[in-house]
Structure 1
Amino acid sequence: MSVREPGDIVVDGGVGELVVMWAGFPLLGAGLGAGLTALSGWIAGLAWFPFQDVFELLDRWPDERSYPLGAGVVALAGVALAVVGTRERLRVTVGRRSVRLHRDRHGRDVARAEVAGVFVDGKALVLLDTAGGELARERSDLGAGRLREAFTGQGWPWVDQDPHRDAYRRWVPGLPGLPAGADALLRARERALKDSRDAEVRELHGELARLGVVVRDEGKRQYWRLVDR
């Protein structure tokens, strides 16, 4: 585990982000739940609307029982979103000799000596090695300006865009040119992308990197390039 050194620059969502998630999401959920409870009689008459039994029950119950239940259930959904959001927060600690990428109680360190370029690709922070492979690709809502300032302030080689962008090709099942096993991994990753299984998407990204394949996403579409080793 790395130790934060004096002069390290930390980029994260800050306390404000946590307040929004842990206070804002449940409060928004409670308000939405109360609104749905107020409309429960009308919603219960919409055959296509899900959870018809629940809205019929809320409509039959007196207000002193229905409103706390309706608001409470959706507020709990807000708490669940806050838990997921907290786990997915990225914290970037940039030092002179290394950067630490921390998410969900897990962190990894990347040495400055290994990095040839740093940039933001859409919502992802990307670190490239000298051969053009990706040492890290981490999605977050951190602003590109803040990240640029942190890395350049510590003397890291920031670039404004992916220097290998023109080398990517859209993946199509069975397309020639990929190393053995890569097509199967991309098929599995496509399914994980469609199902929003983010942890599996990241794991398969790493498996492809070990084969010398770099992958970037545009929506649910995958684009790939090979790394010269």
Structure 2
Amino acid sequence: MAGRSGTRVGGGATDLVVMWGGFPLLGAGAGALLGSAAGWISDLPWVPLRGLFEALSRLPQPHVTIGAASVGVVAALLLAGAGTAERLTVTVDGQRAVLRRDGRDRDVSRHEVRAVLVDGRELVLLDTDGGELVRETSDLARDRLRSAFRAHGWPWAEEDPHRAAYRLWVAGLPGLPEGADALLRARERAVEKDRRDDVRELRRELGRIGVVVRDEGGRQYWRLTGRAVLPAAEPPPATRPEPDRR
């Protein structure tokens, strides 16, 4: 959508209809089904929370079914609210791009950006040193993003211009700036435990020392940017000259 302040790319109305209309219907149906079948469910030996279903089965109908359906609707509305807040919205003009998620804005100036691209399900903005200014998960259509950025003169790339520079990270191998190996170890653990905030923060820390990291097939791949500073190579050990035996 174009406006006086730029072009806005956000989720379509269909997504909102599904979340705010479809989710509550599904929640009500699921709740009503559980409420009406509480007695049968409580007889299954492997079901968790059997005590709860036993207690529900002793309550009068249709009150249990109506109450369970209401709980399902409330849970679905909470889920829809969280999903709406999590959606990424991008507004672009000739001077800046504003990325909004969870009520927070990320403002990126045009002169900082060398390339804009979509990498899988992530929107990426690269700076002039090859580092990542932005990497945001997005369900926005690639075509809509491409059109919005190109319309305002931003440098769009169909693929990562640094793709060939990535190397598989193996702990302890040389070639990384000081401290990067420890950060990649910590990030690997955070990914395994699904600690998303830690994963994002460790990505930022790696970026500060000139390392870009990407995940592929459960593994970490890395490349260096123009700001990376590698440890100085150790000089070869001094050798004594051979004595003159003539």
The TM-score by the shorter chain falls in which range? 0.7 to 0.9
Aligned partner (choices 199, 205, 226) of residue 207 of structure 1: 205
Instruction: Show the 5 A alignment for 1:185-200.
Output: 185-200=183-198
Tell me the TM-score normalised to structure 1 length.
Answer: 0.87
Aligned partner (choices 57, 60, 65) of residue 59 of structure 1: 57
Matched letter for residue 189 of structure 2: R
2:174 corresponds in structure 1 to 176
Q: CA deviation at 1:44?
A: 2.1
Q: CA deviation at 1:34?
A: 1.6
CA distance in 1, matches of 2:70, 2:182: 44
Q: Does 2:123 align with 1:125?
A: yes
Residue 137 of structure 1 aligns to a residue whose secondary structure is: strand
CA distance in 2, matches of 1:38, 1:12: 40
Q: Does 2:106 align with 1:97?
A: no
Residue 160 of structure 1 aligns to a residue whose secondary structure is: coil
1:84 corresponds in structure 2 to 82
Q: Is the deviation greater in 55-64 or in 208-217?
A: 55-64
Aligned partner (choices 206, 215, 218) of residue 217 of structure 1: 215
Q: 1:188 to 1:65 in 2, by over 3 A?
A: farther
| Contact 1:5–1:95 under 8 Å retained in 2 | no
CA distance in 2, matches of 1:221, 1:74: 38
> Which structure has greater helix proportion?
1
Q: Which runs of 5+ in 2 are unaligned?
A: 228-246
Tell me the TM-score normalised to structure 2 length.
Answer: 0.82
CA distance in 2, matches of 1:195, 1:21: 28
Which whole-Å deviations, capped at 9, do the CAs of 1:66-85 have from their partners, x for residues lacking one? 21232233333222322321
| Contact 2:131–2:210 under 8 Å retained in 1 | yes
Q: 1:105 to 1:160 in 2, by over 3 A?
A: same
| Contact 1:58–1:70 under 8 Å retained in 2 | no
1:8 corresponds in structure 2 to 6
Q: Does 2:37 align with 1:39?
A: yes
| Contact 1:13–1:142 under 8 Å retained in 2 | yes
> What fraction of aligned residue pairs are identical, expressed as a percent?
58
Q: Is the deviation greater in 205-214 or in 192-201?
A: 192-201
Which structure is larger by alpha-carbon Rg, 1 or 2? 2
| Contact 1:99–1:112 under 8 Å retained in 2 | yes
Q: Over aligned residues, Cα RMSD in angstroms?
A: 2.2
